[in-house]
Chains A and B, each alone.
Chain A
């Protein structure tokens, strides 16, 4: 269909992505400008269906958004009661790290809540709709509309295309959603945010972003072994000293345990499998007992931004802003980003509410207001902690973290992230292959049965949304040098090498994709490009996830 024939709709503000930052922006906008027309689109089939997080919520931003959040039925049912940090020495032994409030202010979780972030987003969406925000899940922003170097909105993709990209029998053309301002709240490594960062060169003055992948399992366990409010984190085994990562395990809700593993995507060994590490860490006695008699009920994965303060790009551009993890406001030592994501959405809304009354093309006050907010101060104070792990290795960095935290980051230096995670892999023949234990289907599982629990739906006949920019590079680089790292880092078994002995070929099972974006980040030559599939596709994470 030619561009001129596309249907168009106009709004005051368009929000791309219904996570905590986008929904908080929508709510704040309606609080400040009740008559403004606000439209929010979400690529998942419903709000919350693509949300993966631990999650422990620090309710600071929520309290600012709704001082009466408690009476509004916010799903914050499990306050943190007890927490433990374990250093796993090997596959059997662990030591408990004492949590000393004054020394480790970032690790203290008193006053926080263990939540399902998906359920929390569903609740935020109901609040936003009650205020008059128009929310449309099942529609993916597939491209930017840029005119005279100003973002005018986004294009929502065609539906009902066949594998070759031709209209099928139930073809529904995409349309233009136009707005005075567009808020991009796509989460980590959003596909449109990536285009914006490149088009407006928003990283000119910042470090490259560095990422992690989080893999999560939701378990239901017997009630007599369930201690709602208990949380523990582990680091150390099974990772070596130069690989950043660790596990979380939270008891919450009705007999639920949220378990997961985060691995820094700056890892070097191409044989490493984040999924394999996630399964293996559960076998440690410090974790294993928490799954006893339980059953796994959901599975998901998502990349997260770990770069912190040094990696925050320029936040505004003509016609729009980046908020939440699309910009990268995660506080890595706290292992939390919901509060900062929400706050950034709210601050963006405040700047845009002002801008709506002026003829301002770029809402520049958003950046200024963020720099004056507690988010900036918070992220500045912890800026050296994540990079210290890349610099010194886990053991020394833990000592450094203690010192830096005691000084609240008031040190005269700033460690930098020099290069993107895609440049960090060592060649396969110079690295130690990793052998993962065979799944027992009780505690540990394979990827196929895991992906099954993500309730994924990609209509079979749609075009493949994961593309190699240059197909030849896969053989010469990914295979010949790194032995197909994508077939190991993908948590959903999307990438599969067939005919490995004779003529290795990459098979892309895009219908398995959980939209975590790891391939778009870690591919050595950035040859894999993640685009939005048909709206409504992807995982359908259930409530509690």
Chain B
């Protein structure tokens, strides 16, 4: 079985990015970039399935500037066999990403697309669903447990009410929840080997895909900082403060 794993390059989740002073977006210059943690979970799951001989080939794909190569190298250091990089400097929306991935699926003919349920930067949580729709494939989203056979996937979905268990017919798009697994560390020898694994580069402009922007970002603001709390010793003190300081009662 062949698995395609799309991976996104995002600001590292340990970094607290700042909003640009003109509120036009988030300042990403000079920040540490990493693989979207949800995608890391997807790569890890694919590698585990390969170790169990259920999956035979893992192909990682990333879309964006040339530096997405680093993200693909990480995927390959974890265990992906080869990579495809679609180069583009455009800011792409989920629909455009899904259209690009659809083309790659048609080219690579995987049985399964395993991808993060969302990216930790824009949190849209849409690309997997759109891709499944475009392909007319089954979809299992927010997956925290995956059992795979040659033509079926049983997925445990994390939903508001609890866990929903679904059986899907392959081919399918499965989007991963962080609970699915704990990704491995890429070891130094594997990082070295990954530097020699192949990355096929395709320019988006050569792909004949319309990437019209449909969303307009109006402004980005920092979340308002909550006021510092204090611990009071008695109800009387609270009433006193509400009356005299807050003047609400």
What's the dominant secondary structure at chain B's contact region?
loop
A380 at the interface (CB under 8 A from B): no
Some 11 contacts from A to B, beta carbons below 8 A apart, are: A9-B188, A45-B12, A46-B32, A134-B192, A156-B188, A159-B185, A175-B187, A295-B18, A457-B14, A542-B15, A544-B30
Q: Tell me if B247 counts as interface (CB < 8 A to partner A).
A: no
> A residues within 8 Å of B by Cβ?
7, 9, 45-46, 49, 119, 134, 136, 139, 156, 159-160, 169-170, 172, 175, 177, 220, 255, 295, 297, 452-453, 455-457, 540, 542-544
Answer yes or no: B94 CB below 8 A from chain A CBs: no
- Report yes or no: A160 in contact with B30, Cβ–Cβ below 8 A: no
Contacts of B185 in A (CB 8 A): 159-160, 170, 172
CB distance from B154 to the nearest CB of A (A): 22
CB distance from A41 to the nearest CB of B (A): 8
Tell me if A170 and B188 are in contact (CB < 8 A). Answer: no
Q: Are A455 and B16 in contact (CB under 8 A)?
A: yes
CA distance A108 to B187 in the complex (A): 47
A9-B189, A175-B188, A220-B21 given as contacts; is B14 within 8 A of A170 (CB)?
no
Of the candidates B15, B16, B18, B184, the one whose C-beta lies within 8 Å of that of A170 is B184
- Please determine whether B32 and A49 come into contact, CB atoms closer than 8 angstroms: yes
Verify B18–A136 contact, CB threshold 8 A.
no
Decide if B1 is an interface residue (CB 8 Å cutoff).
no
**Closest partner residue, chain B, to A169 (CB atom):** B182
- The complex places the Cα of A160 from the Cα of B31 at a distance, in Å, of 25
> Per a CB cutoff under 8 Å, which of A49, A159, A453 touches B16?
A453
Question: Interface code B176-198, partner A: CB below 8 Å = 1, 0 otherwise?
Answer: 00000011110111011000000
Interface membership of B160, Cβ < 8 A: no
Q: How far is the CA of A7 from the CA of B12 in the complex (A)?
A: 29
Tell whether B29 is near chain A: CB-to-CB under 8 Å.
Answer: yes
A253 CB to nearest chain B CB (Å): 10
- Chain B residues with CB below 8 A from A453, complex form: 16
B19-34 contacts to A, CB under 8 A, are 21, 29-32
Interface residue ranges of B181-219 to A (CB < 8 Å): 182-185, 187-189, 191-192
B14: chain A residues within 8 A (beta carbon)? 455-457, 540
Cβ contacts under 8 Å, A542 to chain B: 15, 30-32
Q: For residue A457, which residues in chain B have a CB less than 8 angstroms away from its CB?
A: 14
Is A543 a contact of B16 with CB atoms below 8 Å?
A: no
Bound together, the chains give a CA A119 to CA B31 distance in angstroms of 11
Interface centre among B183, B184, B189 (most CB of A within 10 A): B184
A543–B188 touching, CB < 8 Å = no
Q: Is the CB of B21 within 8 A of A543?
A: no
Known: A9-B189, A9-B192, A455-B12. 8 other contacts (CB 8 A): A139-B188, A169-B182, A255-B21, A295-B18, A455-B32, A542-B15, A542-B31, A543-B31
- State whether A543 touches B29 (Cβ < 8 A): yes
From A139, A169, A542, name the one whose CB has the most chain B CB atoms within 10 angstroms: A542
Complex contact B184–A119 (CB within 8 A): no
B32→A540 contact, CB < 8 A = yes
- Contact present for A172 and B16 (CB under 8 Å): no
B32 touches A119 (CB 8 A): no
| Contact A136 to B191, CB < 8 A, known contacts A45-B32, A453-B16, A542-B30 | yes
B189 engages A170 (CB within 8 Å): no
State the Cβ distance, B126 to closest chain A Cβ, in Å.
Answer: 28
A452–B187 Cα distance when bound, in Å, is: 29
**What is the CA–CA distance of A544 and B32 in the complex, to the nearest angstrom?**
12
Whole-angstrom CA separation of A160 from B185 in the bound complex: 8
A9 to B193, CA, bound (A): 13
Q: Is the CB of B15 within 8 A of A540?
A: yes
B18: chain A residues at CB < 8 Å are 295, 297
A7: B residues at CB distance < 8 A: 189
Q: What residues of chain A lie closer than 8 Å to B187, measured between beta carbons? A: 159, 172, 175
Q: Are A136 and B188 in contact (CB under 8 A)?
A: yes
- Least Cβ–Cβ distance between B68 and chain A, in angstroms: 16
A452 with B30: CB separation less than 8 A: no
Contact B16 A452 (CB under 8 A): yes
- In the complex, the answer to whether B184 meets A172 with C-beta atoms within 8 Å is yes
Most chain A beta-carbon neighbours within 10 Å: one of B15, B183, B191: B15
Q: How far is the CB of B120 from chain A (nearest CB, A)?
A: 14
Q: Name the B residues within 8 Å of A452 (CB-CB).
A: 16
Cα separation A484 to B145 with both chains bound (whole Å): 49
Shortest A534–chain B CB gap in Å is 9
Q: Please give the distance in Å from B181's CB to the nearest CB on chain A.
A: 9
Q: Given the known A-B contacts A45-B12, A540-B15, are A175 and B32 also in contact in the complex, defined by CB atoms under 8 Å? A: no
A220 to B15, CA, bound (A): 17
Q: Which residues of A contact B189 (CB under 8 A)?
A: 7, 9, 175
Which residues from chain B contact A540 at a C-beta distance below 8 Å? 12, 14-15, 32
CB closest chain-A residue, reference B34: A45
Contacts of B183 in A (CB 8 A): 170
> In the complex, A159→B187 CA distance in Å?
9
Contact B30 A119 (CB under 8 A): yes
State A9–B189 Cα separation when bound (angstroms). Answer: 8
